[in-house]
Amino acid sequence: MRKRVSMKDIAKELQVSTALVSYVLTGRENEKRVSIEMAEKIRKVAKDLNYKPSQLARSLRGGATMTIGLLLADIANPFFASLARIIEDEAAKRGYVVLIGSSDESAEKSASLLDTFIDRQVDGFIIVPTEGSKEQIESLMEKNNAIVLLDRYFPDLNTSHVCLNNYNAIAEATTHLIQKGHNKIVMFVYQSSQIPMQERVRGYVETMKGLNLERNIKVVEVPYSFTKLEKERLIKMTLQNDINIDAVIFANNSLTIIGLYAIYQLGLKVPEEIAIIGFDGSEVFDFFYAPLTYVEQPLVEIGIKSVETLIGIIEGATEIKQFELAHTFHIRNSS
Amino acid sequence: MRKRVSMKDIAKELQVSTALVSYVLTGRENEKRVSIEMAEKIRKVAKDLNYKPSQLARSLRGGATMTIGLLLADIANPFFASLARIIEDEAAKRGYVVLIGSSDESAEKSASLLDTFIDRQVDGFIIVPTEGSKEQIESLMEKNNAIVLLDRYFPDLNTSHVCLNNYNAIAEATTHLIQKGHNKIVMFVYQSSQIPMQERVRGYVETMKGLNLERNIKVVEVPYSFTKLEKERLIKMTLQNDINIDAVIFANNSLTIIGLYAIYQLGLKVPEEIAIIGFDGSEVFDFFYAPLTYVEQPLVEIGIKSVETLIGIIEGATEIKQFELAHTFHIRNSS
DNA sequence: TAGAGGTGCTTAAACGTTTAAGCATACTTT
DNA sequence: AAAGTATGCTTAAACGTTTAAGCACCTCTA
């Protein structure tokens, strides 16, 4: 790599100090009373030499790296990939660059990725917290880092967050199924103490209770650590063992897709033998033999709000903002 | 944010020079003849103060940022998302961090993202080049940057690259269809002068010629700029207007998925009325009413090879490495 | 006993910015 | 004519590392 062109080179060329060059190239020539002629000369030489400021030096000196650390569960998961895309675009608009990491829902990986982000001195964090990462978040908070939690949060941690109103989403789905005449509804969720799952369960449970279907409540907890095949088997067994089940709600995207494999293999008629409600949307939902009714999250809004909020904090905002955004419910053939 | 702990703090604490601290903490205490006792003390204080080196300062001084710029077409596309995941993991293993950008196949966005990468002084680039970005790559090459092209390349540019052996992949697919008794095979590709598309077309055309089916050759070029709906419409019209068509090959992932929507809407029986071969795999392929026969790319191998090659170049390798990796052909119900 | 060599440390510059402080010089004002 | 102020620039330190060069001091060898 050829030697970088630095302010020093421009300064030398014009026999002036680097201070002057800095003033002009950061657009503070008026404030710093640089003569118009000199400003022009500096800009010209900068252009001629194809000068590019070193973000590195700027960051070292100024403290800000204009970098955001984004910790997701898995970037290969379409839900997070889309979110990442939106966040990157939004961040780029504001001059920020995004470092992405995938925790795979492991607290260990989460810790190690957060450490990397710290080493890189990111200005702020957007985090989809995994189970068991509460202490990590707390430790970041103690050090006064800018943080926005995404998709999930810890109720006893006073952080900004952006997520879905999970209760409402599932409550509407449950109500819809009941109105359609289903009442033996089973819900598949990930075994998780995290708020979103809890809220989704609550949305289901309370709605069932409210319509006097308490005795029909059935929540199946699928361990996240299961392989795809094990999850599929658990779903199949559940549906086979209780033939009264006439509807299922899958509490998230990957469970929905795995669930579809299970139902497909069981050869169940949808929605006659079983109605299905999925989560987050996917092309798969369109191609399943009964196009799926599903809950859609407002991805764009979630992405933009999280970046906005984070940059707000980075720039000094102290107010804690907690967004619970509204879902969209798409009714199609599976219910 | 609390003030950072720097080497200076450690040095002050022990009344020594920062040089000594640096020698110890970068593990060169022997080489630099630091006494064992002193080394121990320094390590202890570093730990007590929870010292974290500043990558920023290190980079500024040393030149290397331990950062890779990864330019994709679109991170929200599952193919690229999976690739990104593999590349990140592989890079992380070697101490590198990855900056990701999505060009949307636009040369302008590509230029602007590459500029961002340059500003951030990435040590190397992994690039899925878009049409019209040849000059950008050339300009990077002139400045002696470490570059690996991914998925595509420019034949007259002497860069390292990692991609699929596209010719073989489509040749096998074509042969398979013909063996199954299809001979009016149409291929849908993106309008693109890029090598991979050209090679895929060549794989189809030469195979057809080789089996005396020259007059049946039909390649439909879909403009990338079309909306999803326009693409779908073009595919539908093609299949409706020529009722002799008995098989289709979709030359990439997104065309396959859009094509499936089209075929689904036309209500064609698969493979009786039309056989289908898809590209890259997707859960959708499993749920289509005839699970799809498709060409799979060796994602993991592609990802790892590209990182390996790039880091090789960063570390001084001058040899140009060009990989054309082998596909896997999955035969299922659609053909 | 002088020189060679080893040991354990320090000094100071360098990477490329930003920025507070200061210094001439010229022009106004009273 | 002295004081004030505006103009246009420079100086030098700072951010947190790395590293070449050098300085004492000690021990060995011939």
Residue A309 is predicted with a pLDDT of 98
Residue B81 is predicted with a pLDDT of 96
Count of alpha carbons within 13 Å of A93, Cβ hemisphere only? 9
Structure tokens at B304: 């790892």
Asked if B15 CB < 7 A from strand C, the reply is: yes
Is A290 a residue whose pLDDT tops 70? yes
Which residues 6+ apart lie within 8 Å of B34 measured at CB?
B20, B23, B24, B42
A63 pLDDT band, cuts 50/70/90, is confident
Count each helix (H run) and each strand (E run) in chain A, helices first. Answer: 13, 12
Residue A2 is predicted with a pLDDT of 58
What single letter denotes the amino acid at residue A331?
I
pLDDT per position as a tens digit, B84-114: 999 999 999 999 999 999 999 999 999 999 9
Residue B138 near residue B163, CB atoms below 8 Å: no
pLDDT per position as a tens digit, A216-232: 999 999 999 999 999 99
> What is the mean pLDDT, run by run of 10 residues, along chain B of 335 residues?
84 95 95 94 96 95 94 95 97 96 96 95 97 96 95 95 98 97 96 93 98 96 94 97 95 95 94 96 91 97 98 95 98 96
Residue A292 near residue A285, CB atoms below 8 Å: yes
User: In this structure, what DSSP letter does residue A169 have?
Assistant: H
Q: Distance between CA A310 and CA A318 in Å, rounded?
A: 11
User: In this structure, what DSSP letter does residue B41 have?
Assistant: H
What single letter denotes the amino acid at residue B317?
A
Judging by DSSP bridges, how do beta strands A293-296 and A322-325 pair with one another?
unpaired
A70: which chain B residues are within 8 Å (Cβ-Cβ)?
A: none
Distance B118 CA to C18 C1' (A): 21
**A2/B119 CB distance under 8 A:** no
Distance A59 CA to C18 C1' (A): 10
Residue A263 is predicted with a pLDDT of 96
Q: What percent of chain A has pLDDT over 70?
A: 99
Residue B62 is predicted with a pLDDT of 87
**Number of neighbours of residue B43 by Cβ within 10 angstroms:** 16
Residue A81 near residue B94, CB atoms below 8 Å: no
**A57/B60 CB distance under 8 A:** yes
Q: Distance between CA A68 and CA B185 in Å, rounded?
A: 49
> What's the mean pLDDT when you consider all of chain A?
95
Q: What percent of chain B has pLDDT over 70?
A: 99
Distance A175 CA to C3 C1' (A): 97
Share of chain A residues as helix, strand and coil, in percent rounded to the nearest 5: 45, 15, 35
A59: which chain B residues are within 8 Å (Cβ-Cβ)?
A: 56
A64 pLDDT band, cuts 50/70/90, is very high
Q: Distance between CA B294 and CA B72 in Å, rounded?
A: 23
Q: Distance between CA B75 and CA B81 in Å, rounded?
A: 5
pLDDT per position as a tens digit, B180-205: 999 999 999 999 999 999 999 999 99
Residue B2 is predicted with a pLDDT of 58
A8: nearest Cα among B199, B102, A19: A19
Taken in order of first residue, the domains within chain B and their CATH numbers are 7-53 (1.10.260), 62-164+300-326 (3.40.50.2300), 166-296 (3.40.50.2300)
A104 touches chain B (CB under 8 A): no
Q: Distance between CA B300 and CA A126 in Å, rounded?
A: 27
Protein residue at shortest CA distance from C1' of C18: A61
Give the number of residues written for chain A.
Answer: 335
Q: Distance between CA A137 and CA B156 in Å, rounded?
A: 50
